[in-house]
Structure 1
Amino acid sequence: MIPDLSHDRIDRLRDAFRAAGYDADGVVELLGPEAHVALGRGEPVPALRATTDAGPLGTLVRLFLLGQAEPQAAVEAALAPLPLTDAQAAGIVVADGDRLRAGLDVRPHGVGDDSWWVVSDLDSDLRGGRPVEPDHVLGVGHASLSLVRATSRRPVGSVLDLGTGCGVQALHASTHAQRITATDVSKRALALAEATFRLNEIDVELTEGEWFDPVRGRRFDMVVCNPPFVVGPPRTDFTYRDSGLAGDDASALVVRQLPAFLNEGGTGQLLASWVHREGEDWEDRVSRWLPPGAGVDAWFVQRDVADPALYVGTWLRDAGYDLRSPQGVQKAGEWLDWFEDNGVVGIGFGFVTLRRTDAARGEVVCEDLRHAFDDPLGPESDQWLRRVDWLRANASAEGLLAARLVTADSTVLEQVSEPGDEGWSPLVHRLHRTDGPGWQHEVDELGVRLLAGCRGALPLGELLELLAMGFGEDAEELTRAAVPVVRELVRHGMLVPAEWAGGAQ
C-alpha cells in the first residue's frame, strides 16, 4: 500500500517539526550527549528518561525514535498544525489501543552543518521484532552512510541517484549538485522519497523503472548508487536488498552499464559486493565487469570479506528473521546451499569509483583496504583520480624522472630494528600515510634516503643519480627499480608533485 503523503500534509508536518525543534541539533540538545550515545548503541532507557515531560519535542522523539505508543492528546499537540486525522490517513501514525505510535520512520539526519528529515519504513526493532515487508523502504543505515562518506562532494551540474530508496544519497547530493534525478523500481520507495524531498524543500526529479531504464539516452556529471547488492540465489524477498539476479550480477550490471550514463570526465560511485571463489582472484573478477573498449578509470576498494555463514546470518537478522524459527532455518539453509553449489567461499564488500575518460586506456586498480581507518573515502577518491591524471600525463620514465616531487606532510617513517652485537640493526623501514586510507609501504634504505631528498628542489632523475654515486650503485639499475615504487607512492599520495605541495594533494 502506498501512503497518501500529499504535499499539504508534508508541509504541515514540516511546520510541526520546526515548531517543536525536532531536528538533529534539537534532539541532541534534548537528550544530552550520554543518552544520545546510548540510543546509538540501541539502549533506549536514558533517552526515555530524558524525554519525560519534554513537551512536543519529547513526544516526537519518543514516537519516532524510540517507538513508544503515546497519548493521543500529546501526539495531536506535537503534530499541529497537521490534523491527527490526516496524520493517521497518511500512515504517519497508527492506533495502538487508545494511544498512537509511529507508522513511518521520520527522523532527523544531520552531517556537519546540514540537517534533514528522512521518511522511511520502520525497521524490525520498531515493528516489535516482526520481519519487514517485501516492499520495505530502508532508512538511514550503515550501508547508506558508508556510501555518503565514500562519495565525492565536488560541485557538479547533474547527479543521478540510481535506486534512491528513501532518498539519502540525493539529500547529500543537494549540497553540491545543481540538478538531481532519482530513480527506483519501487512505487513505495518513490512515494517515501518524494515525501523526504518535499519535507526538506529540495527539488528532485523522480522517475520509476528498473536499473537505468528511466534515464536511457541521458548523461550525468555524477551517478551514485546503493544497489540491491546482496549476494545469493536469484530471488527478490525484499526489494531494498535483493535484485532478482544471481550471485553478484547486480553489482556487475551497475559497473558495466554506469559509464555510458556519464558525461566526459563524470564519475560514478557505488557500493558493491562480489563473490570469492577458490582459485579465482577477486581483482580479476571485478575488473572483467568493466565495459569492453570503453575509456574508464576504475578504483575498486575492498573493505570487508565475510564467510558465507556470517553473511547469511547478518542479512536474515537485518530483515527481522529469528534464525531459530522454522522460516529462519529454511531461509538460511537454502542460501547456504546456493553458496556451496556455486563454490562461494567468501563475499567481498566495498566501494567502486568510476570515471569516464577520453584516454585510450583507463586506469583500473583494485585494492584491499580491510584495515581500520576513520577518514572518509570521498575526498580521497577525488585526489586518487587527480593523481591518476598526473601519472597518465607523466607515463614515460623520462617524464617521471624530470618531475620534482615532495614527500607529503602526512607521510611518516616507522623503523623496526633488532638488537645485535654492535647495537640495533634495522629490519624494516615502513612508510605510513597518517590520513586518508592510511596506506603503508615497506621500502629499503635507499628508498628512505630518496624520500628524505624529495623536497622539490631537484628532479627525481638527479636525486637517483646522486643516490647511486653516494652508495656505489649502478644508476640505471637503481632508476629502473625506483620508477615503479615511486609511481605507487604517488598513486597513494605519499609523494606529490612539487606544484601541489602546501595545498590539496
Structure 2
Amino acid sequence: MFGVAIDDQVCDQLRTAFLSADYHADGVLGLLGPTAHAALGRGELEPAARACADGGALGALVRLFLLNEPVPEAEVAAALRPLPLADAVRSGLLHTDGESVRAALDLRPYGDDQGSWWVLSDLDSDARGGPVPADHVLGVGHASLSLARATARRPVGALLDLGTGCGVQSLHASRHAEHVTATDLSGRALALASATFRLNQLDVELSRGEWFKPVAGRRFQQIVCNPPFVVGPPRVDYVYRDSGLSGDSASELVIRQLPEHLADGGVGQLLASWLHIKGQNWGERVASWLPAQGMDAWVVQRDVADPALYVGTWLRDAGVDPRSPEGREQAGRWLDWFAENQVEGIGFGFVTLRHTQTGPADIVCEDLRQAYDDPLGPETAGWLDRVAWLRQHSEDEDLLAARLTVPASVALEEISSPAEDGWSSLVRRLHRQDGPGWQHDLDDLAAALLAGCRGHLDLGDLLGLLAAAHGLPTDVLVMGALPAVRSLIRHGMLVPADWVVA
C-alpha cells in the first residue's frame, strides 16, 4: 500500500530486534556519546560513524538508519533477528545494494522525558541525494518539534491530530489523551503513521480525508495540527507543505473551522503562517479569521521572513538547488506572486484556541520573537489558566477585590545614568526570568503598586493607599491601572495569591 507493506508481524519482529539491540534514544546516545551524538544532530556524520564502528547490532542499525550507509547483509540480518531480511526488503523498509543493504525508509528513535518511540518516514533529500517526490512524508522536523514543545499537556479524553503526517504529534498525545484520532489526506502518510503506531504498540484511530471532513460532526477535548502552512501560489508541489490554496488560506481555513470541532472548554493548537501585506496589520488579519463570541485565542508570532529568504529556505527544504534552472523557475514564480499581492513578509507562529461556549472572544495577538529555551507548552497552559481567571473577574469590582502577588520568578531591573544629585533612572522594567521572558516597562506608580502586591491586601485597597500617598483621585488611578494589571496577569507577572504555594 503506497509503497509500504509493513504488517503487524513485521512490526512485532522489528520491535523485538530493536529492543534486543538497545536501538532507542538512550541506547543510541550511550553508543555514540554526547559529542558524536550532538554532531549527528547537526548533520555531521563522521564522528558518529567512528563511534559505532564496533558497535555490534546497535552499531549496524545506527549505520543503516541514521547514517544511511550500506551495511553488509550478514550484519543487517543479525541485527534484525527475528525479522527475516527478505521480509524487511519485501515490506519496503530496506533495499538491497549488491551484497549490502540500505534503508529505504527513515526509521529512527525519538523520545521525550518519559521514554522513547520509533518513527517511520521517508528519507530526506540529503539521504536520497536529490529532490523528494511529491508524496514525500516528512520525518521529525523542526516544525513538528516546535509544535510538540508548544502543546499544552494535560489529561484529556478525545484528541484529534489533524494532518498527522508520520504521527509525531499523536505519539506525544498518547501520553495524556485517552483516545487519539489521526487524520491525513495522504494515503502514504497514513500508511507510515500506522506502522509507527503499531511498532510502538499504540492504539490510534486513523482516518483519511481532506481537512476536517473525516471527523465531520465530532468534537474533541484537544486538537493539534501541523498543517501544510507554506504560503504562496495555489499549487501542490509537495503534499507535506503545500495545501493547494492561495496565500495563507490554509492557515485561515484551519483557524476558522477548528472551533466547531472543539468540545466546551476544548483546546486547539496549531502551527500557522500569515501574510504581512503592505498597509495591513498582521494581528488584525489573523484575528479576522476567528469568531466574535465563545473563544479564547492566543496568537504568537515567532518569526517573520522576507519573501526572498522564505522562498530559498523552502526550496532547499525540498532538495531543490535555488541556483538550478528548476530552482530559479520556481523562485521566480513564487516571488512574482508575492510582489503581485504586496507581500512584505511572512509571519510564522503558534495559535492556541479554547472554546468558551459563551461570552465575547478574547483574542490576543503578540510578537514573541525573542530567544528563549523553555518549551512553550507549559506557558500556553498557564496562559489559558490566567485568561480563564480574568474571564471570571471581568468586572472591575471583581478584579479590585482580588489579592494578587508577584511570583518569585519575576525581577525588577533598573538602568540609571549619572546625574548631578546621584543617579537618574532611565529604564525600569519588570522581567520574567522563566518561560518566554516577558518584559514590561514600569513607571514609578506601577513599581510602587507591584511592591505592595504580596497577597495581603485587595487590589482596590492597594490602589486607594497609592492614590492617597501621591495625592491622586482614586478613580483616575484605578481607571489607568486595571488594563495594565490585566496585561501583567496574562503574562504571569502578577498572579492570584492563592495560586502561589507558600
SS at 1:359 equivalent? strand
Q: Decide whether the 8 Å contact of 2:275 with 2:282 is kept in 1.
A: yes
Partners of 1:433 and 1:53 lie apart in 2 by 48
Q: Decide whether the 8 Å contact of 1:71 with 1:98 is kept in 2.
A: yes
Q: Which residue of 2 aligns with 1:369?
A: 368
Partners of 2:473 and 2:294 lie apart in 1 by 39
Q: Superposition pairs for residues 229-378 of structure 1, below 5 Å?
A: 229-291=229-291, 293-378=292-377
Partners of 2:114 and 2:475 lie apart in 1 by 54
Q: Which residue of 1 aligns with 2:160?
A: 160
Amino acid of the residue matched to residue 264 of structure 1? Answer: D
Q: Which residue of 2 aligns with 1:31?
A: 32
TM-score by length of 2: 0.99
Q: Decide whether the 8 Å contact of 2:25 with 2:110 is kept in 1.
A: yes
Q: Which residue of 2 aligns with 1:188?
A: 188
Amino acid of the residue matched to residue 487 of structure 2? Answer: E
CA shift, 1:362, in A, is 1.8
Q: 1:399-419: per-residue Cα shift (whole Å, max 9, x none)?
A: 111111101111100001111
Q: Which residue of 1 aligns with 2:200?
A: 200
Partners of 2:357 and 2:166 lie apart in 1 by 35
Q: Decide whether the 8 Å contact of 1:295 with 1:356 is kept in 2.
A: yes
Q: Which residue of 2 aligns with 1:126?
A: 127
Q: Which residue of 2 aligns with 1:484?
A: 483
Q: Superposition pairs for residues 362-441 of structure 1, below 5 Å?
A: 362-441=361-440
Partners of 1:370 and 1:502 lie apart in 2 by 31
CA shift, 1:98, in A, is 2.4
Partners of 2:480 and 2:263 lie apart in 1 by 38
CA shift, 1:75, in A, is 0.8
Partners of 2:324 and 2:99 lie apart in 1 by 32
Amino acid of the residue matched to residue 67 of structure 1? Answer: N
Q: Decide whether the 8 Å contact of 1:159 with 1:179 is kept in 2.
A: yes
Partners of 1:114 and 1:298 lie apart in 2 by 32
SS at 1:229 equivalent? coil
Q: RMSD across aligned C-alpha pairs, in angstroms?
A: 1.0
SS at 1:182 equivalent? strand
CA shift, 1:475, in A, is 2.0
Partners of 2:500 and 2:293 lie apart in 1 by 33
Q: Decide whether the 8 Å contact of 1:118 with 1:196 is kept in 2.
A: yes
SS at 2:271 equivalent? strand
CA shift, 1:332, in A, is 0.8
Q: Which residue of 2 aligns with 1:89?
A: 90
Q: Report how many residues are paired.
A: 501
List alignment gaps of at least 5 residues for structure 2: none
List alignment gaps of at least 5 residues for structure 1: none
Q: Superposition pairs for residues 101-116 of structure 1, below 5 Å?
A: 101-116=102-117
Partners of 2:7 and 2:305 lie apart in 1 by 42
TM-score by length of 1: 0.98
Amino acid of the residue matched to residue 149 of structure 1? Answer: R
**Percent of pairs identical after alignment?**
64
Q: Decide whether the 8 Å contact of 2:293 with 2:358 is kept in 1.
A: no
Partners of 1:360 and 1:482 lie apart in 2 by 24
SS at 2:350 equivalent? strand
Q: Superposition pairs for residues 445-456 of structure 1, below 5 Å?
A: 445-456=444-455
Q: 1:434-465: per-residue Cα shift (whole Å, max 9, x none)?
A: 11111100010111111111001111111111
Q: Which residue of 2 aligns with 1:117?
A: 118
Q: Decide whether the 8 Å contact of 2:3 with 2:92 is kept in 1.
A: no
Amino acid of the residue matched to residue 173 of structure 1? Answer: A
Q: 1:205-238: per-residue Cα shift (whole Å, max 9, x none)?
A: 0000000000101111100000000001001110
Q: 1:59-95: per-residue Cα shift (whole Å, max 9, x none)?
A: 0001100110111111111111111111111111112
Q: 1:37-69: per-residue Cα shift (whole Å, max 9, x none)?
A: 111111111100001021110000011001101
Q: 1:248-274: per-residue Cα shift (whole Å, max 9, x none)?
A: 000000000001111100000000000
Q: Which residue of 1 aligns with 2:498?
A: 499
CA shift, 1:96, in A, is 2.1
SS at 1:320 equivalent? coil
CA shift, 1:2, in A, is 2.7
Q: Decide whether the 8 Å contact of 1:2 with 1:187 is kept in 2.
A: no
Partners of 2:353 and 2:415 lie apart in 1 by 38
Amino acid of the residue matched to residue 481 of structure 1? Answer: G
Partners of 1:28 and 1:385 lie apart in 2 by 36
CA shift, 1:471, in A, is 2.2
Runs of 4+ more than 3 Å apart: none
Partners of 1:183 and 1:135 lie apart in 2 by 16
Amino acid of the residue matched to residue 265 of structure 1? Answer: G
Amino acid of the residue matched to residue 436 of structure 1? Answer: G
SS at 1:159 equivalent? strand
CA shift, 1:294, in A, is 4.2
Q: Decide whether the 8 Å contact of 1:304 with 1:349 is kept in 2.
A: yes
Q: 1:306-336: per-residue Cα shift (whole Å, max 9, x none)?
A: 0000000000000001111111111111111
Deviates more, 1:459-468 or 1:209-218: 459-468
Partners of 2:357 and 2:340 lie apart in 1 by 42
SS at 2:394 equivalent? coil
Q: Superposition pairs for residues 206-217 of structure 1, below 5 Å?
A: 206-217=206-217
